[in-house]
Amino acid sequence: MHDQPAPKVLDSLWRYRWSSLAVVLGVVVLSVAVSLLTADRATAQARIVLKAPDRAGLVGVEAPSESAFVRYVNQRALFAGSDRVLTAAAAKVGDPPVSELREQVTAEASANGDSIVVRVTADDYAASAALAEAVVGAYQDESRADVRAAAQKLVDTLAARRAAILASIPDVPEASRSVEPNYSAAGQSLSELDKQVTQVRAAAEQFGDGVSFVDRAVPDPAAGGAGARNAVLGLALGLLAAAALAWLRADRDRRVRDVDDLAGVVEEPVLAEVETLVPPELAALREVGSPPLWPYQFAAASLRTAVDRGVVVVTTPGRGDGATTATLQMATTAARGGSRVLVVDAAVRSHGLSDLLGLRYDRQGLTSIAVGAARLEDCVRVIDLGDQVPLWVIPAGQYEEATLDHFRSSLLRAAVAAMRAGYDLVLVDSPPPAIAPEVTPLVRESDGVVVVVRRDRETRVVHRLRDQVRLLGGAIIGYLFTFVPPRSETPRRDLPTPLAPLRRAR
């Protein structure tokens, strides 16, 4: 027995597309929900763009190159996160402990190295924004104080030098000062010192706090993008989970989805595949004498090739697969081809074929033959298919629960031999042997078995029926695959006109 190949992932996803879509959406929603519940929603970010250090050396650094300026920005970022700045910031927001601010505040150089990025995490956005603004303000205040202190120190140094120069000037009469060389040199030095003091004060005023401009606190883009990132991650995980679940379900729930699936799990040929019919078409198809569909004609031709003359059992793994319709259609095809055809309703409990032929309440039938109550020839009925084409029928007969206990295999074997001798082709509409053990002698004595399998039937059920037929000594000729989705290129058949009432003869 062939094993059905492992399902494909894409086919499994399409097969369980709605449940797979639910899994993907569920994982995405869960990912976003987790992001919203655990994300740092109270994170604010402010940016401090620095001025280039002045050449007067007020901040103790010169930045003649880009790399030097980047180093300067990194130094100022360290200063922005220092305890001194955090202490000043705490005074602006209610004096929280500096140790707490160390955990809430981070300051680092931006990616392009032109600014300081201050990030603050607090209980809510308003608190984090207020603290970020406080840190920026404290940085500006402390930087301005440092610049002023450095400027004052330079001014004091220059003042001391000026005082020293004044003290060194000799006391000469005013009329002689113009010709006194020391006095003239001292005057030039004092003038230069005064100029430097003016430059220092101007540079300090211009440099101020060393900040070019400030971007006010806003929600941190990195924190805000966590939801989108988690959604994308959830989508990827959801697709993986859906694919895994769909594949596992498809692997555990092996079904015959198309004719290739059926051919992959059995060794015998697929005689034909029959498309699903709309109710009006199905009703017309079940009319006795209606023109057979071409798939049944093809199946009948294949059947006559395999069994030129004999008894063929038509059965199915389960109810509703279309065995009765297939039996009547193939019998009609063979009869219209000039063969002497007998159909036997072996479904003694359901009387499906007898119902179609209007023979449900005929008391004599297969049950009468099996218990020895009637001869074969007494149970045969003749149905006119039209155009003077006869079809011989043995109905199911009267069914009673106790009747099955009296079925005799020897009588059924003798009846099968008589059927084979009297007709070109005998088609027996049989229920699955597992639920109708009384018909097992028909399978054993037959010349072949045709199995009708509907789409979406479980492969394990097909395997079980196949094994049962083999155990009973039967041989499967082939399979009919039914309820195939209609193809757009397949033309729809015209519905036949209603037929006249059936004419029966004994």
For the chain, state the CA radius of gyration: 50
Taking Cα atoms as reference points, which of 344, 263, 324, 317 lies closest to residue 468?
317
Tokens encoding 34:
């987790």
Distance, CA of 257 to CA of 341 (rounded, Å) = 33
Residue 395 one-letter amino acid: P
Please tell me whether residue 369 adopts helix, strand or coil conformation. Answer: helix
State the DSSP string of 170-198: ----GGGGGG-HHHHHHHHHHHHHHHHHH
Distance, CA of 369 to CA of 46 (rounded, Å) = 98
pLDDT of residue 61: 54
Strand ranges for 76-235 from DSSP E: 105-109, 115-121, 211-219
Class of domain 259-487+501-505 as given by CATH: alpha beta
Low-confidence ranges of the chain (pLDDT < 50): 1-2, 495-506
pLDDT of residue 121: 87
pLDDT of residue 497: 44
pLDDT of residue 277: 78
pLDDT of residue 422: 94
Q: Which residues neighbour 435 within 8 Å (Cβ) at sequence distance 6 or greater? A: none
Classify the phi-psi angles of 117: left when phi > 0, otherwise alpha if psi is within -120 to 50, otherwise beta.
Answer: beta
pLDDT of residue 502: 42
In 3-state terms the chain splits into helix, strand, coil percentages (rounded to 5) of 55, 15, 30
Distance, CA of 122 to CA of 40 (rounded, Å) = 9
Strand ranges for 276-379 from DSSP E: 310-315, 341-345
394 pairs with which residues across the strands? Answer: 344
pLDDT of residue 500: 39
Q: Contact at 8 Å (CB) between 210 and 182?
A: no
Tokens encoding 55:
């050449």
Please tell me whether residue 91 adopts helix, strand or coil conformation. Answer: helix
Residue 441 one-letter amino acid: P
Distance, CA of 254 to CA of 456 (rounded, Å) = 9
pLDDT of residue 506: 43
pLDDT of residue 230: 78
